Amino acid sequence: MKNTVRNLILALICFATAVSVASAATQTGSQGGSLLLTLFIGFFALIVVFQLVPACILFVGMVKGLFSREQKSEEKQSHI
């Protein structure tokens, strides 16, 4: 049983290696992206970063609020 599993894993690794080499060989070369494509991707990366900063600040504030000790102020209310 151990030999069967070991041989199966070995065959799977060999097959995956052969497939990756074959797919790499079919590529025609590295063609760089245009300047517009780089600017497009960079613009959306900036949007993600600028949305991530306030989200992290809010998350830290929420965690501080959850785990901080509450100072309970007892207010006596008078009933009329």
Residue 61 within a domain = yes
Structural domains in the chain (count): 1
Q: Is residue 72 part of a domain?
A: no
pLDDT of residue 69: 78
77 domain residue, yes or no: no
Q: Which domain holds residue 51?
A: 38-67
Q: What is the pTM of this model?
A: 0.40
pLDDT of residue 20: 62
Residue 47 lies in a domain: yes
Identify the pLDDT of residue 58.
95
Q: Which pLDDT does position 53 carry in this prediction?
A: 92
CA atoms of 57 and 67, how far apart (whole Å): 16
**Residue 24, domain member (yes or no):** no
The torsion angle over the Cα atoms of residues 43, 47, 49 and 55, rounded to 10 degrees, is 180
For the segment 23-61, what is each residue's pLDDT rounded down to a tens digit?
A: 555 555 566 779 999 999 999 999 999 999 999 999 999
- Say if 23 falls within a structural domain: no
